[in-house]
Structure 1
Amino acid sequence: MQSRPAARTGGLTGAKVGTFLARQGILIAFVLFMVGFTVANERFLEPDNILGVIRSSAILGVMALGVTFVVISGNLDLSVGSLMSFSTIVVLDLHDKLGPALAIPAMFAMTLAIGAVIGFLVGYLRLNSLIVTLGMLSAIHGLTLTYSGGQNMDIADKEGTWFSVFGQGEALGIPVPILIFAALAALLGIVLAKTPFGRKVYAVGGNGTAATFSGIRRARVVFSCYLVSAFCVATAGLIQASRSMGSQNTVGQGMELEVLAAVILGGASLMGGSGTIFKTVIGVLILGFIQNGLLLIGLEFYVQYVVTWIIIILAVWLDVAAKRGRLLSPIA
């Protein structure tokens, strides 16, 4: 009679351990990566290296902030890489034609217009977000090549413009891209966690049908999430253009995979309804430090693609495991 409570307690303890590992396993893995990279190369934790990693991760991070809204609402956005290329090329081209004061708002307007098209197709026409954004990935890439005539873009007078401040400037010793990333993360974090719109995003992603019956306009919420994503992509394009003062027309190609990896690493569920801006920032930093560590220990840059794939698989597995309360399927 006394063995049953003990067995039950042991079962509960095992379940708790499994749930803890499922929810916090990626952070444990990150700590192990950090320790390993520090042992392998003492430069890893130097202040200059840390600041450099955060700065180089700012563009990816800004894009991930917007995609967080889309993923929490229960959708995907695979067009952000191509859209970032488009934004970068447009603002560089218009800089010499209109000047930076007009080029920047014009680029934001054009990027938001494309985001509105995607939001309309997914939100109001209820088309599958994976199919729509995958198709838009190619369409926007073609639009970028058409706009640029297949040519790369460069600013003619790189010394006589204030445009470089967004990507190269500093304030109080902190690079401007980091300040933009931090400010946007704080603003969107408040919007998502403290406003009625943020609660609607969680409701739509958690149970769209229930949200609709409770009076929430699902289509409008999804549409707005894609506008937020487009705004963040435009901001990332501005930073990228300002940092290099010139760009290839494929500068954002493949970044959609890294953005999605960062969002998932931060704990946002692909099933929708969960995730936070703060955790997305953590996910961006995890990805940035892992990639930096791999380079410092002497691995080639293309190894990052394999590691990114492994991280995505691991993150999705942990996400599913957290929902079922165990790391392995009961069927297995």
Structure 2
Amino acid sequence: MAKLTKQDIGKLLAKQGILIAFALFIIGFTIANPKFLTLDNFENVVRSSAILGVMALGVTFVVISGNLDLSVGSMMSFSTIVVLDLHDKLGPTLAIPAMFAMTLCLGALIGILVGYLKLNSLIVTLGMLSAIHGLTLTYSGGKNMDIADKEGTWFSIFGQGNILGIQTPILIFIALAALLGIILAKTPFGRKVYAVGGNGTAATFSGIRRARVVFLCYIMSALCVATAGLIQASRSMGSQNTVGQGLELEVLAAVILGGASLLGGSGTIFKTVIGVLILGFIQNGLLLVGLDFSVQYVVTWIIIILAVWLDIAAKRGKLMSPIA
């Protein structure tokens, strides 16, 4: 039997480290609390992670293209508040497409600034985080939103309904992950996203319209954020105007955990889903073993640091090196 070298272990961790970590988390929390690995608990974790997961799917495209999107938390707050407000003014049939259109306009603005004007994505989306938060407060007048007639509307189906015994948020998450996974892995557009993130200059010289690809990635991100906002609004039938505050960091953590490189050019939808579930199961497992909710923030920070180190070290080919 061949002996594993440090290089072999490094390659294994670089390619399958996320799946190994996921298995270890499941085993560890199951030993700590047998209730962890039950069907009911698994369903609850996936359902509670659906909003974060839907947002992470769109951000995966952005990160693979070599950019960042820190505006998704504020944008989700905006989407949630808008659809709740328009629900009572226009009815759900018109409120939903109107909210999607407004959210896509925000995504298009970011796409133009980063893609066509070639501004730094970190600076642009960080600025948009504050701008959209201000827009949300202005739109809502600083007030929270609630649906007036919660019993007489079909709007709750997106966050509270179920189809064939499976909760709707889970089905939306799965369906969107499958669709975007196919787009990223099997279409010319998906290949262009990888090419632009891997080497934007080379992609441009090969005839790929880099600006257009980046623009469409931000449109994809905005579409996913609007979907998440719809689920959030439908789940609670009301919302604070800061409901998405801080989610941008959790979303980015999930995408990085899924193996999407901050340097661009790598990542998959499937592994992003695994990254989302890891965060969800960690939070759930910590609560089941009796640790305070605030500990989750510390653990999430540690996980982000480890994930970034694994990403950069693997890219340099020094994963097992003491100077990685």
Rounded Cα–Cα distance in structure 2 between residues aligned with 1:216 and 1:29: 36
Give 3-state SS (helix, strand or coil) of 2:291's partner: coil
Residue 70 of structure 2: aligned partner = 78
TM-score (norm 1): 0.95
Q: For the Cα contact (< 8 Å) 2:115–2:211, is it kept in 1?
A: yes
Aligned partner of 1:217 among 204, 209, 213: 209
Aligned partner of 1:58 among 46, 50, 54: 50
2:140 paired with 1:148 = yes
Alpha-carbon RMSD: 1.4
Residue 101 of structure 1: aligned partner = 93
Percent of aligned positions with the same letter in both sequences? Answer: 85
Residue 5 of structure 1: aligned partner = none
Aligned partner of 1:288 among 280, 290, 297: 280
Aligned partner of 1:256 among 231, 245, 248: 248
Q: CA deviation at 1:41?
A: 1.1
Rounded Cα–Cα distance in structure 2 between residues aligned with 1:156 and 1:150: 18
Residue 110 of structure 1: aligned partner = 102
Equivalent AA in structure 2 for residue 21 of structure 1: L
Residue 6 of structure 1: aligned partner = none
Q: CA deviation at 1:17?
A: 1.7
Give 3-state SS (helix, strand or coil) of 1:162's partner: coil
Rounded Cα–Cα distance in structure 1 between residues aligned with 2:5 and 2:89: 66
Equivalent AA in structure 2 for residue 107 of structure 1: M
Aligned partner of 2:183 among 182, 191, 194: 191
Aligned partner of 1:38 among 30, 41, 49: 30
Rounded Cα–Cα distance in structure 1 between residues aligned with 2:177 and 2:7: 34
Q: For the Cα contact (< 8 Å) 1:22–1:326, is it kept in 2?
A: no
Rounded Cα–Cα distance in structure 2 between residues aligned with 1:29 and 1:189: 22
Structure 2, unaligned runs of 5 or more: none
Aligned partner of 2:314 among 322, 325, 329: 322
Q: For the Cα contact (< 8 Å) 2:84–2:233, is it kept in 1?
A: yes
Residue 223 of structure 2: aligned partner = 231
Residue 273 of structure 1: aligned partner = 265
Equivalent AA in structure 2 for residue 219 of structure 1: A
Q: CA deviation at 1:31?
A: 2.1
Point out the more displaced range, 313-322 or 147-156: 313-322
Residue 4 of structure 1: aligned partner = none
2:210 paired with 1:202 = no
Q: For the Cα contact (< 8 Å) 1:19–1:321, is it kept in 2?
A: no
Q: CA deviation at 1:46?
A: 1.0
Equivalent AA in structure 2 for residue 128 of structure 1: N
Q: For the Cα contact (< 8 Å) 2:114–2:121, is it kept in 1?
A: yes
Rounded Cα–Cα distance in structure 2 between residues aligned with 1:25 and 1:205: 22
Q: For the Cα contact (< 8 Å) 1:202–1:273, is it kept in 2?
A: yes
Rounded Cα–Cα distance in structure 2 between residues aligned with 1:124 and 1:21: 37
Q: CA deviation at 1:234?
A: 0.1
Equivalent AA in structure 2 for residue 212 of structure 1: T
Rounded Cα–Cα distance in structure 2 between residues aligned with 1:157 and 1:201: 44
Structure 1, unaligned runs of 5 or more: 1-8
Rounded Cα–Cα distance in structure 1 between residues aligned with 2:35 and 2:323: 46
Rg larger for: 1
Aligned residues: 323
Point out the more displaced range, 58-67 or 27-36: 27-36
Rounded Cα–Cα distance in structure 1 between residues aligned with 2:10 and 2:111: 38
Residue 178 of structure 1: aligned partner = 170
Q: Which runs of 4+ in 1 moved over 4 A?
A: 328-332
Residue 29 of structure 1: aligned partner = 21
